[in-house]
Structures are given as structure tokens and as C-alpha cells.
Amino acid sequence: MSRKRFTDMNCPAARALDEIGDWWTLLIVREAFYGTDTFTGFQERLGVAKNILADRLNALVANDVMMRIRPRPDVERYAYTLTDKGRDLLPILVALMQWGDRWVFGKGAEPLRLVDAKDKAPIARMEVTAKDGRALAIDDLRFRAGPGATPDTLRRFAEARAKRRKRTKWDGRQIC
């Protein structure tokens, strides 16, 4: 997508957004998780224009998030299903839903409930956790350069370290 030229793409969140951050794209993925798998089904469910839907589905297939299959060789009918890469978007979708429930709808006004198929109990709230299961807030995290850091990213980390030394009290928190 053309957005790539605008900003630092040496960031996994930016690259994830580049593939699935479009408004319609993530709603198509949501529908796929609900079980919708035909062009007509997505169109009816989302009320989206055909050209936009075709464009987004093509991009999802090109990015290997969904695949286009022909379930029955004798019938000219296609289906769109999530790949492993697409199914792995579930934590993002559920994190979005839980945030929307908490901060937009509020307790007692949730449109949906996600429950465990086994015992029909509500699922847990998603949290960032340490390997031992402790919940981590932003102040409990540190960002470090990874093996794929570009020179730009490394320079940014060096700048942040230098800035942190002379930081005033209100000036934010540690980046690395």
C-alpha cells in the first residue's frame, strides 16, 4: 500500500497495520471469524460496496491472510477462508473487542459476549504478561533493539537513551 512510503516500516505494529489496519479489512476478518466465507455473505453482512470488498479481499489473499478456494469442483462458486496467518489475528480482534466493550459501550451494555465453548463461561481479559504470567503495564516494559533493527531504528534507540539522561519529570517514560 502507498502508506509504506510515509513512515518507519521497521516496526512490527506499523507493518501489521499496513496489512490489516484498513477499516474494512479488519471487519472482513471479523466476519470470517464469525463464519462468513462468500463474497455475497461479506457484502450483506458489512453493507460494503462491491468494488471496495473485491479490492480488500484481493489484498487479503495477496497478503496470505485469506485464501480463495473452490469448495466443489463441479460448482462455479468460491469461498474465502482465513489462513493460519489470518487465524492468528484472533488476539488482535479480541483485544479490540474487549477495549470497545470497556471504554465505548461500558459494563452491562456489551453487544456480544465471548464465551469458552467448553463451559460457556466468559473468557479472560487479555493482558500483556511476563513469561511467568504476571500482568505487565507500560511502565513494566522495556523496548530493546531486535536482530532486525535497521540503522535508523538503532539511531533512534541511541537518541532515546541520550534524551532520557536529561529528562524532566513530565517528559514521558523510557523507550529502551
Cβ atoms of 38 and 80 within 8 Å: the answer is: yes
Rounded distance between C-alpha atoms, residue 129 and residue 135, angstroms: 4
Nearest of 77, 66, 78 to residue 26 by alpha carbon: 66
**If DSSP codes are grouped into helix, strand and coil, which group holds residue 24?**
helix
- Sign of CA pseudo-dihedral 67, 70, 76, 77: negative
Residue among 62 and 130 whose Cβ is closer to a copy of itself: 130
Nearest of 50, 81, 65, 72 to residue 19 by alpha carbon: 65
Residue among 58 and 88 whose Cβ is closer to a copy of itself: 88
Contacts with a copy of itself in 146-175 (CB under 8 A)? 146-150, 153, 160, 168, 170-175
Contacts with a copy of itself in 5-44 (CB under 8 A)? 6-8, 10-17, 19, 21, 23, 26-27, 30, 33-37
Contacts with a copy of itself in 51-110 (CB under 8 A)? 69, 71-72, 79, 81, 85, 87-105, 108-110
Among positions 73, 138, 151, 166, the unique one binding a copy of itself when judged by CB under 8 A: 138
Among positions 58, 128, 155, 158, the unique one binding a copy of itself when judged by CB under 8 A: 128
Q: How far is the CB of 141 from a copy of itself (least distance, A)?
A: 6
Q: Kindly give, in sequence order, each residue whose CB lies less than 8 Å from that of residue 19, ignoring residues fewer than 6 positions away.
A: 25, 63, 65
Among positions 62, 129, 158, 161, the unique one binding a copy of itself when judged by CB under 8 A: 129
Regarding 131 and contact with a copy of itself (CB under 8 A), the answer is yes
Span between the terminal Cα atoms of the chain, in Å: 30
Q: How far is the CB of 42 from a copy of itself (least distance, A)?
A: 11
